[in-house]
Amino acid sequence: MLSAQTSLTFFGVSALLALAPGPDNLFVLMQSALYGRKTGLLIVLGLCTGLLVHTGTVALGLAALLAASETAFTVVKIAGAVYLLTLAWQALRARPAPLSPAAAPAGGARMYTRGIVMNVSNPKVAVFFLAFLPQFVAPDRGNAAWQVIWLGCLFIAATLLTFGAIACFAAALGTVLRRSPRVQRWMNGLAGCLFVALAVRLAIAGR
């Protein structure tokens, strides 16, 4: 098993990476502001579940397929882009609703699933894990696969804390903003544009 110092260093780096603007934390930010803390936290849990999938694929070596195969990488990223465009369409068509966290356009299970799909359908996360996690693996400290799993769990813990804080902050701000139907329309439009931008970014992304 990795040393405590290496684990703490990795956790700190992971927390900083989670704070850097990216598709996942921007997704949490907008959805929490629009639909409340519960929705935001459910999406965070979904995103972290998706990270479990990526951790498993790296531990098993499957992520190397996405890094090596142009076809596999393209198929996954196009599927992710289509999903993001679907979310953009839903956001742009949404109408102002009464001030309530229950105004989310989907139930709790669907919002949790949305977080999973958002994360798993981004092949760049798998490639990032493949490049990032092995840097902290110590060959003299036992089975490399178990070390990767441990690092993945640390990354997920850092992401859960960081994204959870983002969700709570955005939800508190959104409670004030959602009092105005005009602001709600503006926020839905901004969310739709964000999803379109993320879809385009994912579709044109290289390995």
Total-model pTM:
0.71
Query: Of 190, 200, 199, nearest to 30 (Cα)?
Result: 190
d(CA 110, CA 123): 22
Every domain of the chain and the residues it spans: 22-204
pLDDT tens digits in sequence order for the chain, 207 residues long? 678 888 898 898 888 888 877 778 888 988 888 888 899 999 999 999 999 988 888 777 755 655 566 776 677 667 767 766 876 777 677 665 554 444 555 577 888 998 998 888 877 777 777 767 777 777 677 777 788 889 999 999 999 999 999 999 988 887 766 655 666 676 667 767 766 776 776 577 565
CB atoms within 10 A of CB 123: 25
